[in-house]
Structure 1
Amino acid sequence: MRVLQAWNVAEAVARGLRIEVDPEARMSVLRRYEAAPELRRRPVEALRDASEAIGLAMLERRLDAAALRDLLDSGALPFVLVPAVTPGDALVVVGAAGDRVKVLRVAPDGRTTDDEAEFATLASWPAAALIPVRLGDQGATRGHDHRTPGRRFLDLLVQERQDVGLVYFYATLTGLFSLALPLGVQAIVGMVQGGLILQPVIILIAFVIVGSLVSGVLNILQLRVVETIQQRVFARLALGLGVLVPRLDLEALRGADIPEQMNRFFDVVTIQKSLSKLLTETTTAGLQVLFGLLLLTFYHPYFTLFGLALLAVLYLIFRWTGPQGLETSLAESKYKYRVAHWLEEMARSATALKLAGQTNLPLRRMDAEVAGYLKYRNKHFDVLVLQGMSIVVVKTVITGGLLILGSALVVNNQITLGQFVASEIVIVTVLSGIEKLVVSLSTVYDMLTSLDKVGHVTDLPMDRPTGLTVPEYDAARGVEVRVQDLSYAYPGGAPVLRGVSFEVPAGAVVAVTGQEGAGQSTLLKVLAGMLPSYEGGVSVNGVSLRDLDVIHFRQLVGWSFPESTLFEGTVEENLTLGRPGVTLDELRRALELTGLAEAVQGLPEGLRTRVLGGGKGLPTHVVRRLLFARALASGPRLLLLDDAFDGLEPGFKRDIVRVITDPQAEWTVVAASRDPVFLAACDWIYLLDEGRIAAEGAYQDLLADTRFRAIVTTSTPRATEAA
């Protein structure tokens, strides 16, 4: 796929989703495309690359005819169809009407034309479907200045504007047909009073029945549309978080409990239920009130005054109590998640709490969180009671006032008896609608609160998806790394790195060592692009790390950090992490290098055998080997290893050190380690002390340094004992 074709497809999708395109993104894509020839060979990867620069991820699917029809019917537009076999036109599907599908056809040279295609043609076309997923919450404000819950609700309605408009259309028709009852009753009473023949009365009765039937059918159609919206909201949020979590800016989130934050996802269920009620019952009730008040104005001007007075009173009630209701609902939700968080903490520390013997700490902490929840729950309920009591008073006054007014108007012959009866039916309908509106306020609070909680997750900061790719390098020797006057301090803390400078030639094996807290782990995280707020310079093959697209850069990096772990999934998924281009031969080679080839072949399902999160149920040495295999599986050009050799059994340690330090290996190695076996095999070693390079040299030369000798002598027994 040519770069202009990929860009025009991505830009067309962005327009369909109303995403503003940064003009600089186009130039970034052009530069990356020229520097990465593999993008030209893989059309899907080229399109993904262009889409990420705009703010979109692409989910690839293979669709049969039924799945394509479901996708079109769901309204999940636009999406892209890319030829799966030979290069050709890419189609951006933007609409469908029956078997006619509206598309934008993008030719390989970038020319874009409007076109139509038959559904059967698309269903039989060998193509890959790419469904866009937003990178993060568009329009979100980063940092601590988040959008208001009300703004989030409006943004949700805008995203679903087409189907929401259809729901409101059905609701409007339902409200109009609901007037068939009072109007029909008015006419029937008038005819019966006048002694008219039976036939017109029967016709009017049929009119009322048909009106009620049509109103019911419209309600069902409304529910169908709302169900589609509910499914789309769930899918959009789940897929959005699937894109967001691997791209989180961990530096900005240092100190945050990210797994606990993900609990907010379950508020999507509340959003679904609340949205359904607000778009159906609440909308219908609101239109009933509106149409009822409009109809009353035709009976007598006095009814108009009552209607205006009613609307004014309702506005004052909502304006007075609404902010209190939302504030208490947000506080209640906060304590709800604090309760859940403490439950997770107890489960995480179950062994420690169990071995503590008799302790009331778990119960005492839980009591404090539950007390906070109940406090704000009661405050929120008090607001709902106040709103309910206000409406009871309003209903009583309105009912009595309109009965008195209607009776007086009938006595004075200003309205007929039929109009009086009809007006009272309308009044009952209006008051019933008002009651539904007030009852739905709790749903409104739940909706806004859930949107706020979910929004604080979708607003989490992400790595920037733009930048340069690593320039051409010697594939047999890895990449070159240069660090110049590097300093780094965590927010609110003292500097951890102070003026660090060194150079790692392509293919070299370099170690950074030091006592605990010397800064070696921080240094490796800077090199991995995880801590971008550093001072000084870091370059890879002559390009500053700040200018690189960190997502593409990390595809060249194999890593093993203390926080590395296995997740619930297959062995293959844990090794490849879904990275494109990892072949079966590379997997087998990584398993052979780590001594796991025979063990994996002996598993019931081989590479497709599922493992539990954290490697539960697997021996520790197998987990450590799998993590090394993960680092080697993608054919990395840069290996970053942080304390990766601690606790390894001696035999495997010698073998893996021999593999990693092999002079014929195709990677560059930068490792933070105090292990003497690994340090002795390194080409060069840098000794860090309080964030500065205190000494450097080969292993034998550094043994003359007392600080270095203290590190390796204290590390030797620890490594042996752990093994």
Structure 2
Amino acid sequence: RLETTATEIYDESMTLVRLRSQFAPLFELIPSMAIVSVLWLGGIRVVDGDLTIGEFVAFTQYLTVLVFPLRITGWFFAQLPRAGAAATRIQVLLAEAPEITSSAHPRRLPEGNGEVHFAAAGFSYPGGPPVLNGVDLVIPAGTSAALVGATGSGKTTLAHLIPRFYDATSGSVLLDGVDVRDVPLDDLRREVALVFQETFLFSASVRENIAFGNPAATDDQVRLAARLAQAHGFICELPEAYDTVVGERGYSLSGGQRQRVALARAVLRDPRVLVLDDATSSVDAIVEAEMLAALEHVMEGRTTIIIAHRTSTLSLVDRVVFLDEGEIVAVGAHEELLRTVPRYAEVLAQEEVLS
């Protein structure tokens, strides 16, 4: 079905290109012919004495000035149907109701330190096979766990059930004993911070990027978060330190620096749960060492869930949860799983090659 749709779009696009290539020269030729006609006929009138040279030059200039607006007017009307179609698609998107909403009878989270409990949690996309099958897992408050599995094993989906990027289609996910579906979305996502593999930074200062999740944070709080994320050192070496503008998507920073700024942004919110979605998979060994040093400080005493496959990262966590085809195969220390679960070692080797 996708191939058929893509072929239809390709054919329509090629038809449009052919039409443009045929008519574009014509649109350029008509104004040029008008100018040539004026020069020819006007020249004859000047020779015959019916026009002065000044009048001829003035008329020619008027025509030249008029040609460009006429061309733009034609282009404008040609673009109107496309603009209308685009506006319709945007309106449809804006009018679409979000699938994930707060409960009609919300419950506040009690005082707690971030215990995460997956109770027979399952998930499947509409019309698709199950991605997760009855996952039972408790991550005690203040501990760390790594989710490991081959591509498509469900590890990212499992982590994304906590902040309700998706809702479990069976079972439940509890944070400090409360079903996350009963917690107001703003409250839930204030207590769960994520750092993704592809970090997004705004074209703003380092301070503003770190404080994005907590605009009321003081300079001292921003600096403390940066120190915990091992970012304070390189920030102070920037031209304007914390006031340095990092550019669109943080292009002026290295990959490791962007990740540490994102980590500081997450830490500043002081969440109950920190989720790191393959945050070190696309960096080199030097940057990875910097990130691991930062993680050691950030993870201390905080419930942390890491989606990872690098041995260096797995050595930091209290437990490794190995998933395969949407089910938990084994839970234990990294070294223990290497000895007792052959499939675990095989998946790690495959992921290391792919990275």
The verdict on a shared fold, with TM-score over 0.5 as the criterion, is yes
Residues 639 and 668 of structure 1 are in contact (CA less than 8 Å); yes or no, is this contact kept in structure 2? yes
Structure 2 unaligned spans of 5+: 3-8, 22-80
- Quote the offset at 1:602 in angstroms: 3.4
Q: CA–CA distance in 2 between the matches of 1:457 and 1:673?
A: 34
Q: 1: CA distance between counterparts of 2:235 and 2:291?
A: 20
DSSP-derived class of the 2:297 partner: helix
Number of the residue aligned with 2:183: 548
**Could you tell me which residue of structure 2 aligns to residue 489 of structure 1?**
124
Cross-structure match for 1:706: 342
Specify the alignment match of 2:308 in structure 1: 673
Query: Cα distance 1:483–1:373, how it changes in 2: closer, same or farther (>3 A)?
Result: farther
Aligned residue among 210, 233, 236 for 1:601: 236
| 2:115–2:303 Cα contact (<8 Å) kept | yes
In 2, the alpha carbon distance for the partners of 1:554 and 1:460 equals: 22
Q: In 2, distance between residues paired with 1:653 and 1:681? A: 12
* Aligned 8 A contact 1:676 1:715 in 2: no
Whether 2:101 is the aligned partner of 1:464: answer: yes
% same residue: 27
1:185-241 superposed Cα distances (whole Å, 9 cap, x missing partner)? xxxxxxxxxxxxxxxxxxxxxxxxxxxxxxxxxxxxxxxxxxxxxxxxxxxxxxxxx
What is the TM-score of this pair, normalised by structure 1? 0.36
1:103-118 equivalent positions in 2, closer than 5 A: none
C-alpha contact (below 8 Å) 1:588/1:597 kept by paired residues: yes
- Equivalent residue in structure 1 for 2:220, among 557, 569, 585: 585
- CA drift of 1:549 comes to 1.1
Q: Verify: 1:473 aligned to 2:108, yes or no.
A: no
| 3-state DSSP of counterpart to 2:261 | helix
Q: Contact conserved, 1:582 with 1:634, CA < 8 A, in 2? A: no
Corresponding residue SS for 1:471: coil
SS of 1:560's partner is strand
> Is the aligned partner of 1:455 residue 2:63?
no
Larger Rg, first or second structure (1 or 2)? 1
Summarize the Cα distance change of 1:612–1:366 in structure 2 as closer, same or farther, 3 Å threshold: farther
Query: For residue 127 of structure 2, what is the amino acid of its counterpart?
Result: G
Counterpart residue identity of residue 682, structure 1: V
Q: For residue 508 of structure 1, what is the aligned residue in structure 2? A: 143
C-alpha change, 1:596 and 1:539, in structure 2 (3 Å) is: same
Deviations 1:95-150 (A, max 9, x none): xxxxxxxxxxxxxxxxxxxxxxxxxxxxxxxxxxxxxxxxxxxxxxxxxxxxxxxx
Partner of 2:76: none
| 1:508 and 1:669 in contact (8 A); partners too | yes
In the alignment, what sits opposite 1:613? 248
Shift of 1:492: 3.2
| Structure with the bigger percentage of helix | 1
Q: Which residue of 2 aligns with 1:651?
A: 289
Measured at CA, do residues 706 and 606 of structure 1 come closer, stay the same or move farther in structure 2, by a change above 3 Å? same
For residues 171 and 322 of structure 2, the distance between their equivalents in structure 1, rounded to whole angstroms, comes to 19
State the TM-score, normalizing by the size of structure 2: 0.70
Distance between the aligned counterparts of 1:580 and 1:544, measured in 2? 28
In 2, distance between residues paired with 1:446 and 1:519? Answer: 40
For residues 82 and 297 of structure 2, the distance between their equivalents in structure 1, rounded to whole angstroms, comes to 57
Are residue 537 (structure 1) and residue 172 (structure 2) matched?
yes
Tell me what 1:561 maps to.
196
How far 1:504 moved relative to its partner?
1.0
Quote how far apart the aligned CAs of 1:453 are: 4.5
Structure 2 distance, partners of 1:574, 1:515, is: 33
Letter paired with 1:655: A
* Contact residue 121 and residue 168 of structure 2 kept, 8 A: no
Greater relative CO (CA pairs within 8 A, separation 6+): 2
Q: 1:469 to 1:655 in 2, by over 3 A?
A: farther
Q: Which runs of 5+ in 1 are unaligned?
A: 1-254, 256-341, 343-360, 375-444
Q: Which amino acid aligns with 1:711?
A: V
The answer to whether the 8 A contact 2:114-2:140 is kept is yes
- How far is 1:591 from its partner? 1.2
- Say if 1:366 and 1:623 are closer, same or farther in 2 by CA, change over 3 A: farther
Aligned length: 286
**In the alignment, residue 111 of structure 2 is paired with which amino acid?**
Y
Q: Secondary structure at the match of 1:703?
A: helix
Q: In the alignment, which residue of structure 2 is the partner of 1:682?
A: 317
Change (3 A) 1:695 1:452: same
Deviates further, 522-531 or 532-541:
532-541
Q: Which amino acid aligns with 1:657?
A: L
Alpha carbons of 1:513 and 1:501: their partners in 2 closer, same or farther (altered >3 Å)? Answer: same
Matching of residue 640 in structure 1 with residue 275 in structure 2? yes
CA distance in 2, matches of 1:446, 1:673: 44
Q: 1:624 aligns with which of 242, 259, 272?
A: 259
Distance 1:513 1:485 in 2: 19
